[in-house]
Amino acid sequence: MAAPHIPAYNALLWPTLRAVRELGHTAKLDEIDEKVVEQESFSDDQMAVLHKEGPRSEIEYRLAWARTYLKGMGALDNPQRGVWVTTENGRRFEEHELEPLRQVYLAKLREERKRKNEAAKLAGADEEADVEVDDGETSDWREEILAAVLAMDATAFEHLSKRLLRAAGFINTNVTGRAGDGGIDGVGVYRLSLVSFPVFFQCKKYKGSITPDKVRDFRGAMAGRGDKGLLITTAKFTAEARNEATRSGAPPIDLIDGEMLCELLKEHGLGVRTTVRTVEEVEVTPDFFATLTF
């Protein structure tokens, strides 16, 4: 059986830009991915193809590169974590303009690699500078985190989730992990100003996608115990699963997918060390010297 066709990242540039436009010129990662998947009618078989054995699908990985290239091309920007907006140019670009812009951006990347390689040679380095140019196949710190988490056993992942919730402001957080708990892995108390309430959580160390039946099962396990639930996974929630989590008439379930899990671990410094580097840009203003008088 032939493998499902997965479009190259450059074929996803226009669908990605169009999705952000139709979402009101500002959108979160999940919203963009879901919109493109819907508009392009990607099948379940296509979405099931994982990038390097997961946890992200190949389509999601290429959509991430489409966003990166659109930013380099001046069509998108991400002013805050997980949020993308169209630039002034991005609002007016037409589909046929994107490929020439991509070629200009690629030329810029190649020139940057050339400069870095020349600098490395002058410094006596043996390796060439690695600047991504064309196919989008590059390492990602999120993938490193998820690979490490997927290598943990289920109990260790539950305790990692407990530590994360405590770092995020939960109190009295405990892992239950007992047989007969019906899929509830732990419970914590979240305090909001003067009010506090219990939150049950479930951890799913998966690759691929979480389907709506998993959300329904978790909600069923919570029945009679509480109304607040949090489902934490290394995987991705399908659009149907997200709809099920907020279905009218049913207790809402909050969702943390692999992407958000990585961001939260980074934010709270759990297994992630972030180094902030300041880049100094120097611009000479010749007019100052030309007009200087005594």
HEC per residue, 98-149: HHHHHHHHHHHHHHHHHHHHHHHHHCCCCCCCCCCCCCCCCCCHHHHHHHHH
For every residue of 215-227, DSSP letters joined together read HHHHHHHHTTT-S
Q: Which CATH number fits domain 146-267: 3.40.50.2020, 1.10.10.10, 3.40.1350.10, 3.30.70.120?
A: 3.40.1350.10
Residue 233 has pLDDT above 90, yes or no: yes
Count CB-CB contacts under 10 A for residue 266: 17
Q: Which of 163, 223, 168 is nearest to 192 (CA)?
A: 168
Name the residue ranges covered by the structural domains of the chain.
1-137, 146-267
User: Which residue did the predictor score with more confidence, 31 or 183?
Assistant: 31
Model pLDDT, residue 292: 77
Query: Dihedrals φ, ψ of 265, to 5°?
Result: -65, -40
Q: Tell me the pTM.
A: 0.68
What confidence tens digit (pLDDT) does each residue in 186-200 have? 999 988 877 888 999
pLDDT tier at 136, thresholds 50, 70, 90: very low
What confidence tens digit (pLDDT) does each residue in 250-286 have? 888 999 998 889 989 999 999 998 887 777 778 888 8
Query: Dihedrals φ, ψ of 100, to 5°?
Result: -60, -40
What confidence tens digit (pLDDT) does each residue in 54-106 have? 667 889 889 999 999 999 999 999 998 779 999 999 999 999 999 999 999 99
Across 22-35, average pLDDT? 92
Residue 128 has pLDDT above 60, yes or no: no
The DSSP 8-state label assigned to residue 52 in this structure reads G
